[in-house]
Structure 1
Amino acid sequence: MRVPLSWLAEYVELVPGSTPEDVHAALVKVGLEEEDVHTFDLSGPIVVGEVLEFVEEPQSNGKTIRWCQVRVAPEGETAADGGEAVHGIVCGARNFFVGDKVVVTLPGAVLPGPFPIAARKTYGHVSDGMIASARELGLGDDHEGILRLSTLGIDAPVGSDAIALLGLNDAAVEINVTPDRGYAFSIRGVAREYAHATGARFRDPVEQSSPVDAAVDAFPVEIRDEAPIRGRVGSAVFATRIVRGVDPSRPTPAWMVARLKLAGIRSLSLLVDITNYVMLEFGQPIHGYDLDTLRGGIVVRRAKPGEKFTTLDGKERTLHVEDLVVTDDRGPIGLGGVMGGAETEMSDATRNVLIEAANWDPVSIARTARRHKLPSEAAKRYERGVDPEIAGPAVSRVAQLMVDLAGGTADAGGSLIHEAPARQAILLPDGYVSGLIGVDYTDDEVHEALAEVGGHVTRVDGGFEVVPPTWRPDLTGRADLAEEVARLVGYHRIPSELPVAPPGRGLTRSQRIRRGVADALAASGSTEVLAFPFVSEAENATYGSVDGSPVASVRLANALDASAPFLRRSLIPGLIGVARRNLSRGLTDLDLFELGLVFTPEAGRSYGAPELPVGARRPDAETLAALDAGIPPQPRHVGVLLTGDLVRKQPGRAAEPVGIADALDAVRRIALAAGAEVEFVQGAHQAFHPGRTAEVRVGGTTVGYAGELHPRLTEQADLPRVVAVAELDLDAIIAATEPAVEARPIGTLPAATQDLSLLVAADVPAAEVAAAVRDGAGELLEHLELVDDYRGQGVPAGSKSLTFALRFRAADRTLTAAEASDAKLAGAAVARERTGAAIRE
């Protein structure tokens, strides 16, 4: 919202000498965020001049210029630039006559651009200044000819300061209006806020305008809303006034043009400018109809299926059954609260005007504006809520301006439908505001602040009963009233204190491990991402269940995306979404990870937070227990996704595509950072490639899965065929891991190394064979590692050859080859007993 200061000063007493920055500072105190300062960006000398004579001089380029003699100061006086009273000026426009008074920019002036003015030789003359057009002055877009003051109804003495005369010395402050404070989309609302900030006297423009007499029915109006949204009628207030005999050809006064320009609205015509002016002044959108084009009375209703309507911008629109329309006997003549129709708009031929102001349901207007992509100034105000009490005064204000400026005659009365419900009282208990804000407010401070906002405040037993003002639809509960008290008494009263951390604590064990895991993955070249936690039901069923059995999910009450209304049970869908986005942008080699919460509710159980008491005291144990019980389990997982090449092709080295081994390596890095011993066993998960899936265990507990994504899923997601993924329950890993890791002594004696190749059935997991060898080899075995898994020539069908590298070491002696061999064979014997493995010769 842009607020011209001269306009603001009409309704509130500005502090003497206030600059735009001072006004911004005052408004910031009451919570209105500053945006910018707007001026006409020009400087003088710019004066009123009178054309004394001119000579038309055709040029060789086909253009005809006028060599003008223009008086810029009274006879016998020096001009504002220090020169003669009469200046010779070259002008290319031809829309003026001898005797016309015009705006002359003298040498030394600067026009918007910036465009400095100086005496310069052109077309064989020295042009000592310039005769300006409206566009050159920043007043509008008209550049067809120079600005004749008579067209604005101005007759000022020669040499007068044209900057002040045209209102070009004004400035506007721009503020950001949040959705809950729609009343600030008006001079009236901002003036009231400035009064709150400074204590200045506020003069309500609505009180200076006469209301519409509800007993007079000057024009037939009917509201037929047979399909209200959320039980709210589309229009509860509808006011009209009639002005006859207007002259639409009259110019818009310069002060109105300047104010509209500073407020960001282009001057169109006198009648339209008046409706826009009152909209900015009151915050009540106004629409004017050419009365002679109306057929019958007005009916407000919902649109019919397939009904069409042409708006003021000339576009034919197919209406929706939720759209509110203003109709006459022919059909729609206005899209209620958004934009009027082309057939009944005010034009140069208009002589009689029907003025309309209504109060529309914010939800209906917001939906209509977005549905038809019509973010009009009217819709912007209606969707935030407009004061239902000002429709009558607003149409009376427009009627008075049309009488004063357009020469019309207003009918004695008007039409008014007023069915807006009365505001309900809110009970504000004693101590509530202080308890919520954390400041000791006195009863007098609370009473005065709410009364200053405009509320009707009554003292009752145990507190106050407050009826909010009609222009504040956002005040619906006692917390809103408490915020108003804090805002008006002053945010400076709210203490700014950081809690003191208990000494000697620092991060918890879980926090240290989580940071260590993230650091380890990032240090290995993986990129941390943060995906949205919202997924579809199908994604939760696919990735949140191991075997495809039904899973319970948390459904959002108000989802951002209707196609993803559930909270995730797995991190993999989010990682897939990030991978797809990066692949679409040409990034083919990806190594991603995410640490985040998943949501695993129990089937058949509903969740929800209880209402918490507001106050300074901490909730009791029972309330906190109920709060915890209302939250579904939220374990913290870590997910990894890799695709493309782990090592890119380079001279002397072939590319190394990612695979299951890279997912397993990522799991090992996570386990190392968490201080855990992981075990991989052959696993099965519906989202993973059959045969390329590892079940990850810690201490015998399954904590996740690693492997390659199922090709069917990669195809559906437009990903490469091979995508390595892993997802682990990090909380479960931390819980299954000993708090402290015992350091092993470093061996100083030589180690004995041997290999062991075993033949075993192909369906026996290598981890089971390794565990058996480890148990059988005893305490001399220091390290065991699988180095080869061979299946092919020389190995019986249905079998595989597993080769393990073994390292033996004793703490008190150097082992002999025989001792190492005996330990190896003991391990092989246990492996044969448990898994049927045989030593491969």
Structure 2
Amino acid sequence: MRVPLSWLAEYVELVPGTTPEEVHAALVKVGLEEEDVHTFEVQGPIVVGEVLDFVEEPQSNGKIIRWCQVRVAPDGEQAADGGEAVHGIVCGARNFFVGDQVVVTLPGSVLPGPFPIAARKTYGHVSDGMIASARELGLGEDHDGILRLSTLGIEAPVGTDAIALLGLDDAAIEINVTPDRGYAFSIRGVAREYAHATGARFRDPVERAEVADVSGDAFPVEIRDEAPIRGKIGASVFATRIVRGVDPSRPTPPWMIARLKLAGIRSLSLLVDITNYVMLELGQPIHGYDLDRLQGGIVVRRAQPGEQLTTLDEKERTLDAEDLLITDDRGPIGLAGVMGGADTEMGESTRNVLIEAANFDPVSIARTARRHKLPSEASKRFERGVDPQIAEAAAARVAQLMVELAGGTADTGSIVGEAPGRTAILLPHGFVTALVGVEATDDEVHDALAEIGGAVTGTDAGFEVVPPSWRPDLQLKQDLAEEVARLVGYHRIPSVLPVAPPGRGLTRSQRLRKQVADVLAGAGATEVLAFPFVTADENLRFGSVDGASVPQVKVANALDASTPYLRRSLLPGLIDVARRNLSRGFTDLDLFELGLVFLPAVGGTLGSAELPVGAALPADAALAALNAGLPAQPRHAAVLVLGDVVDKAPGQLPVAAGLADALDRVREIAFAAGVEVEFAQGSHHALHPGRTAEIRLGGAVIGYAGELHPAIADELDLPRVVAVAELDLDAVIAAGEPIEAHALGTFPAATQDLSLVVARDVPAAEVERAVREGADELLEHLALVDDYRGAGVAGDRKSLTFALRFRAPDRTLTAAEASEAKLAGAALAGERTGAAIRE
């Protein structure tokens, strides 16, 4: 919200010479955050001049300029720049006449830009200054010609300071208004807050409005809301006022143009400017209709299927059944609280105006504005809550200004509906002190609540407070306590660093997830965060093992219509990151992501629960029904490796990524969580046949590792070999155990090799598991070092060679003890897998 200081000073006492920074500092005390300071960025001397004479001179480029003689000071006096009273000025505009009063920027002045003005030679003359247009002064966008003061209804002595005359010496502060304090979107609200902060006397601008008697013969209005949202009628109050015989051609006075400009609103026409001015002044959005274009009375109702409306921005909009409309006998003429319709807008032919000032339901207006992507100054205020008590006064204030500035005659007004009352809130004695932590006496509590406009009544239990009509955010005793703290002074609340309660910190799951990420990063992988939105085909490709149809969660308001589904797998996101980096020249990638996937059950009840209204906390049963309809959301871990894992160097050949690298990343995840996973030959329709492994934990399959199917890699413009893996991280964490550190052995180790011949279709992992179990506790380390298939081994068999290391914690092993343990392992492998020691 931008607040011109001259406007603010009309309703609260500002000490002469108060700077914008001082106003900001005062408002910060009551919780209004400062943003910026806005000025017209002009410096004098800029004065009122009179065109004495001019000569039109055609130029070789086809342009016609005027060599003007302009009086910039009374006869016999020096000009403001110290020069002669009459200046010669070159001007390219041709919309002025001899005798016109204009705005002259003399040498030494500065216009917005900044654009310094100096005497300069141009078109064969020395131009001693410049005759300014409205846009050059920062007053508007009109740059078709220079600014003639007669068009603004101004006449002033030659040499008068034009900066003060046009209101260009004003400044505006900008504050950040939080959603709960919509009343601060008005001069009225900010002036009241400044009074709270400084103790200055506040004058309510509502009192300036000349409210007329309500007439039964006034314009007919009916509120007919048959489908209220959350049980609340769309319009509680609808006030109208008629002004007849206005002259829309009259200029907007410069003081109003300047204030609107500083407040961030462009001047359009006098009638529209007046409605915007009152909206900024009181916080009540106003809409004006050309009365002669209306057919019949006004009905406020919800939209009907298929209805359309052309709004003021000349866009035709298809309406929704929830949209609240302003209609006449023809149909919709405006989106209530958002934007009016083009058919009834005030224009150059308007002579009679119907003024509307209503109070609409915030939720209804917010939904309409978002549905149609049509934010407006009106909807910004209505969706935060507008004072329902001032609609009639706001309509009267607009009528008053139209009579004063546009020459109209005010007719009687009418009002339909009744502003809802406020319920008293009990604030117990001592509650403020207990909540805020600072002693607040009963007198301070009473005075603070009375100052914000509350009706305060003392009782034995505490204070009963009826909040003011302009504060819809005050609903609970905690809200009142915050107001007391705000007005008594935040500075009284001590800055004390809270002490963390003992025994708290990261949960086990959080700690292990962090540990997994740290281990992967330490191994050289890069963590990424991909969008959770994918296509249906990506979910079928990577979220289904066999490519069969799977249930998916579709987002109703997807950010991108091409990816409206929540992911069932992390791999689409990793692949998208890889493709983007490849396109930018990064050919060696080692990526991982930890994130949620969304796995709705087949035939589940997703979305079947009815959404509760937002007016109150949902009941436990309603929350339980909503939670029951949510899909399973396990946390997965996924990795992707491509390119070279070892770079080419002198004496070193590059090593390309492959399945082994994906398996290593899975082992690192398992190690970080304190579990052991197993791998078995697997099948996944998106992975390379024969180069795919199931990841098993406790006999259950928790994921897959492998190389991306070559056809898919080619389709996605990826290298032929892309190693990937994905597993259920929640399952890994649930099975994880603390990693125990063992003392290093101090006795010598005994190493031996074991070669076993086994059928080709027997997984090496099964043989390894049997050898490990048979060798028992003396076996310290076992690794598969060779898989031989060739001469000396039958065609349907293979030879697996394992390197074994034995060590005892309390003695030096003999060769016989190591051999005995090795043969025990070989014997158990023979029983389970049919393996035999290779001769």
Tell me the equivalent position of 1:826. Answer: 824
**Alignment partners' CA distance in 2, 1:578 and 1:16:** 63
**Alignment partners' CA distance in 1, 2:782 and 2:441:** 75
**Alignment partners' CA distance in 2, 1:108 and 1:826:** 103
Query: Shift in Å at residue 500 of structure 1?
Result: 4.0
Equivalent residues in 2 for 1:315-330 (5 A)?
A: 315-330=315-330
Tell me the equivalent position of 1:580. Answer: 576
> Amino acid of the residue matched to residue 573 of structure 1?
S
Query: Shift in Å at residue 134 of structure 1?
Result: 0.9
Tell me the equivalent position of 1:279. Answer: 279
Equivalent residues in 2 for 1:640-655 (5 A)?
A: 640-645=638-643, 647=645, 653=653
Tell me the equivalent position of 1:725. Answer: 725
Query: Shift in Å at residue 711 of structure 1?
Result: 6.8
Query: Shift in Å at residue 400 of structure 1?
Result: 0.5
> Amino acid of the residue matched to residue 583 of structure 1?
R
**Alignment partners' CA distance in 1, 2:130 and 2:301:** 55
TM-score, normalised to structure 1's length? Answer: 0.85
CA contact (8 A) 1:295 1:328 kept: yes
- Structure 2 vs 1, CA of residues 557 and 391 (structure 1 numbering), >3 Å: closer, same or farther? farther
SS in 2 for 1:678: coil
Percent identity of paired positions between Structure 1 and Structure 2: 69
**Alignment partners' CA distance in 2, 1:795 and 1:11:** 101
Tell me the equivalent position of 2:105. Answer: 105
Equivalent residues in 2 for 1:522-541 (5 A)?
A: 522-530=521-529
Tell me the equivalent position of 2:30. Answer: 30
**Alignment partners' CA distance in 2, 1:575 and 1:489:** 56
Partner deviation per Cα, 1:39-63 (whole Å, 9 max, x = no partner): 1111000011112222222333332
Cα RMSD, aligned residues only:
4.4
CA contact (8 A) 2:679 2:765 kept: yes
CA contact (8 A) 1:133 1:143 kept: yes
Please point out which of 680, 683, 686 is paired with 1:682.
680
Tell me the equivalent position of 1:41. Answer: 41
Tell me the equivalent position of 2:624. Answer: none
- Structure 2 vs 1, CA of residues 271 and 500 (structure 1 numbering), >3 Å: closer, same or farther? closer
SS in 1 for 2:344: coil
Query: Shift in Å at residue 637 of structure 1?
Result: 6.1
> Amino acid of the residue matched to residue 469 of structure 2?
T
Query: Shift in Å at residue 407 of structure 1?
Result: 0.9
Tell me the equivalent position of 2:351. Answer: 351
Equivalent residues in 2 for 1:476-555 (5 A)?
A: 476-500=475-499, 515-530=514-529
**Alignment partners' CA distance in 2, 1:173 and 1:332:** 38
**Alignment partners' CA distance in 1, 2:292 and 2:97:** 37
CA contact (8 A) 1:681 1:768 kept: no
> Amino acid of the residue matched to residue 388 of structure 2?
P
- Structure 2 vs 1, CA of residues 343 and 515 (structure 1 numbering), >3 Å: closer, same or farther? closer
Equivalent residues in 2 for 1:704-783 (5 A)?
A: 704-705=702-703, 707-708=705-706, 724-727=724-727, 729=729, 737-738=737-738, 740-748=740-748, 751-760=750-759, 762=761, 764-777=762-775, 781-783=779-781
Tell me the equivalent position of 1:210. Answer: 210
Equivalent residues in 2 for 1:301-450 (5 A)?
A: 301-411=301-411, 413-450=412-449
SS in 2 for 1:441: coil
Query: Shift in Å at residue 335 of structure 1?
Result: 1.9
Partner deviation per Cα, 1:247-298 (whole Å, 9 max, x = no partner): 1111111100111111111111111111111111111111111111211111
Query: Shift in Å at residue 742 of structure 1?
Result: 1.6
User: How many residues end up aligned between the 2 structures?
Assistant: 808
**Alignment partners' CA distance in 2, 1:27 and 1:588:** 55
CA contact (8 A) 2:48 2:72 kept: yes
CA contact (8 A) 2:433 2:439 kept: yes
CA contact (8 A) 2:542 2:571 kept: no
**Alignment partners' CA distance in 2, 1:47 and 1:10:** 26
Unaligned runs of 5+ in 1: 608-628
2:239 aligned with 1:245: no
**Alignment partners' CA distance in 1, 2:211 and 2:244:** 19
**Alignment partners' CA distance in 1, 2:456 and 2:557:** 38
SS in 2 for 1:231: coil
Query: Shift in Å at residue 124 of structure 1?
Result: 2.0
Moved more, 262-271 or 768-777: 768-777
Tell me the equivalent position of 1:456. Answer: 455
Partner deviation per Cα, 1:650-699 (whole Å, 9 max, x = no partner): 6885662432x33331233244455x4625253879999698344454xx
> Amino acid of the residue matched to residue 343 of structure 1?
D
- Structure 2 vs 1, CA of residues 705 and 248 (structure 1 numbering), >3 Å: closer, same or farther? closer
> Amino acid of the residue matched to residue 825 of structure 1?
L
> Amino acid of the residue matched to residue 419 of structure 2?
A
TM-score, normalised to structure 2's length? Answer: 0.85
CA contact (8 A) 1:302 1:323 kept: yes
2:661 aligned with 1:658: no
**Alignment partners' CA distance in 2, 1:466 and 1:505:** 40
**Alignment partners' CA distance in 2, 1:543 and 1:441:** 62
Partner deviation per Cα, 1:779-827 (whole Å, 9 max, x = no partner): 55442102244678876687654331223457755855x7655543332
**Alignment partners' CA distance in 1, 2:730 and 2:410:** 76
SS in 1 for 2:151: helix
Query: Shift in Å at residue 35 of structure 1?
Result: 1.7
- Structure 2 vs 1, CA of residues 141 and 469 (structure 1 numbering), >3 Å: closer, same or farther? same
Equivalent residues in 2 for 1:16-27 (5 A)?
A: 16-27=16-27
Query: Shift in Å at residue 774 of structure 1?
Result: 2.6
CA contact (8 A) 1:640 1:666 kept: no
CA contact (8 A) 2:68 2:90 kept: yes
SS in 2 for 1:144: coil
**Alignment partners' CA distance in 2, 1:708 and 1:509:** 30
**Alignment partners' CA distance in 2, 1:437 and 1:546:** 57
SS in 1 for 2:569: helix
SS in 2 for 1:157: coil
CA contact (8 A) 2:696 2:702 kept: yes
**Alignment partners' CA distance in 2, 1:184 and 1:59:** 55
Query: Shift in Å at residue 139 of structure 1?
Result: 0.7
Partner deviation per Cα, 1:315-347 (whole Å, 9 max, x = no partner): 222222222221222222222212122222111
**Alignment partners' CA distance in 2, 1:584 and 1:528:** 15
Query: Shift in Å at residue 110 of structure 1?
Result: 0.6
Tell me the equivalent position of 1:625. Answer: none
CA contact (8 A) 1:575 1:593 kept: no
